Amino acid sequence: MAIVASAFPILYLAMLARANPYARYFAVAAPLVAVFAGVGAAALAERIAPRRAGAITALLVAVATAPGALQSWHYVRLIGRPDTRILAGRWLESHVAPGTAVTLPNLVGYANPVVARDGKTLALEYPRWHRTLAERGIGDPATTFRLHYHGMFGNYAPFEPRDPVIVTSAHPSPMTVLSTPAGHEERLRAAGYQVAARFEGVPDPTPPGLVYDPQDADFMPLVGAEHVPQLGPTLTIWTAPERDVQERTPSRSPE
C-alpha cells in the first residue's frame, strides 16, 4: 500500500526535478506528503507512549504544523490589504484627467497600476475583438488615459520622458525584468519630474528572510509575508514640472 501511495508523488517530483518549475507546482504533491507525515507521526507516538498515542500524535502534528499555520496567517493578512497596483490606479483616476498621456511600467501588465485600457492597448491585446469592445464604450478616449509604456518584459528602448505623468515600478523579485531600469528614473529627475505619489510593495532594503519565486509574476512571497506592507511592486508616480503639466494636461471638469 505504501508503494502504491508513494508512486505518484515520487514520479511527480522526479518530473519537476528535470524542469524549471514554478514553486506552486509542488503544491500538487502536498496532500500525499501530508499523509505520509501523519503516518510517521502516529508511528512515532506509538513508540513514545503506546497508551497515549492519540494525544502524542496530536501534539506532534501541532508542533510540526505551527510554523506553516503562522505563515498562512501572515499570508491571509497580506491578501486582505489593497494591492499597490489598485492603489496607484485609484490615485491616477482621482488626480489625472482623462485624455492625459501616461507612461506605465510595462506593456505586459503585471507591474502596472490598474487603469482602464485605452483604444491602442485594446487593439494590441484583443486584435479580433477591440472594435466590438469599442462599440460598447470600452477604451473610450473620454474616460481613459493615452497609455504608453517603458518597455515590454525586458525589452526597453532608449527612454526620453515626454508624458506629463510617468509611473515606474521596482521590485527585487519576482521577474526583475518587469522593474523599470534605474536609468529611467535618473532621466526623470534630470528632466525635473517630481514624485507625486509612491506605493510601497517591498521595503528597501529588502528584509532578510523574504523569499519569492523569482520566475513568477505573482508578487506574493513564498516566505516572509509579515515583512511585506502590501502586495504588488513599489510603484512611483512622477509628474512633469508644473509649467509642463499645465500646458499638456487636460483640465478636469467640476463633475
Asked if pLDDT for residue 250 goes beyond 60, the answer is no
Q: Look at residues 113, 96, 136 and name the one whose alpha carbon lies nearest to residue 239.
A: 96
pLDDT of residue 130: 86
| pLDDT tens by residue, 108-139 | 999 999 999 999 999 988 899 988 988 888 98
Helix or strand or coil: residue 195? strand
**Residue whose C-alpha cell is 490589504:** 81
| pLDDT tens by residue, 147-205 | 999 999 999 989 999 999 999 999 988 888 999 999 999 999 999 999 999 999 988 88
pLDDT of residue 251: 45
pLDDT of residue 190: 94
| pLDDT tens by residue, 2-58 | 888 888 888 998 998 888 888 889 889 889 888 889 999 999 999 999 889 999 999
Grid coordinates representing 104? 506605465
What's the average model confidence in pLDDT over 54-77?
93
Asked if pLDDT for residue 253 goes beyond 50, the answer is no
pLDDT band of 254, cuts 50, 70, 90: very low
- In DSSP terms, 152 is beta-bridged to 155
Residue extents of the structural domains in the chain: 2-79, 84-248
Asked if pLDDT for residue 64 goes beyond 80, the answer is yes
Asked if pLDDT for residue 255 goes beyond 90, the answer is no
Distance CA 99, CA 196 (A): 19
Distance CA 18, CA 108 (A): 28
Asked if pLDDT for residue 223 goes beyond 70, the answer is yes
Distances (CA, A) of 206 to 19, 165, 169, 170: 29, 27, 15, 12
pLDDT band of 245, cuts 50, 70, 90: low
